[in-house]
Amino acid sequence: MSADSIGLAVAQFAPAASVASNLEAIGTLAGRAAARGARVVLFPEYSSYFIDPFDASLADNAESVDGPFVSALVGLARTHGLTIAAGLLERADDGARVRNTVVAVDGTGVLATYRKLHLYDAFGQRESDWVQPGEITDPETFVVDGMRFALMTCYDLRFPEVSRVLADAGADVVLTAADWVRGPLKEHHWRTLLQARAIENTFFVAAADHPPPLGVGNSLVVDPQGVVIAGVGTGTDVAVAHLDRDAIGRVRRVNPALKLRRFRVVPA
């Protein structure tokens, strides 16, 4: 790995209805990512606990950001010398639903959190029956080895304003935790949207999904020109991309789209 690059891994696995078994899988994949040169590793949406279809056990297994699941992630990050981003089933404030949250941690503690803004009330699903949407707040970002990272979740990919706000916050890399449910053309939508978000914002985009049969798999990393530079396929594994720190600057000198735009993003 070049001194001018940073190793970023996407880790693909199928979270289960067991926090303990999910942590075991995360620990195995985190170790594999570190051994392959990763400094940052992204895990899917709902990494702490997942059941299909959703039921009341979601609220029973929800935790706070300072709870045992995140504490275990911090321990794994410390052990492997990583920054880890993963989906957390977080307690909500209405007592009945949960928050669909992504946390980023290193060995010192929590670096950033992101609560899913757009809930998956589409394609016959009703995520909002079980999940409370996140509030619109200033993006939380963090820096690893000179690159600034931001977080996003699954269905938010279909709303380009979300990633544009992250670009305005100075993100070099957007980490997208997902459970991209399979269906007609869904693999096509997944790859197209990830590449579009990278191209239009001229930054790196990484995405970690659940594998089939529920998700589409195909966890991947896309460069600022929309080129896929690492990917997993449909199994349980990690893929590591080595991000060139200078790539964004080179692309933006040729394609200064962010500077040339005439519109800004404002909350609805």
Q: Which residues are catalytic?
A: 45, 116, 154
Beta carbons within 8 Å of 66's beta carbon, 6+ residues apart: 110
Secondary structure (DSSP) of 179-191: --B--TTHHHHHH
Tokens of 237: 């594994």
Beta strands at 5-12 and 173-177: parallel, antiparallel or unpaired: unpaired
Q: Which helix (H) or strand (E) holds 177?
A: strand 173-177
Question: Which residues share a beta bridge with 134?
Answer: none
5, 14, 6, 10: which is closest to 216 by C-alpha? 14
**One-letter identity of residue 7:** G
Tokens of 24: 């075991």
For the chain, how many helices (H) and strands (E)? 7, 13
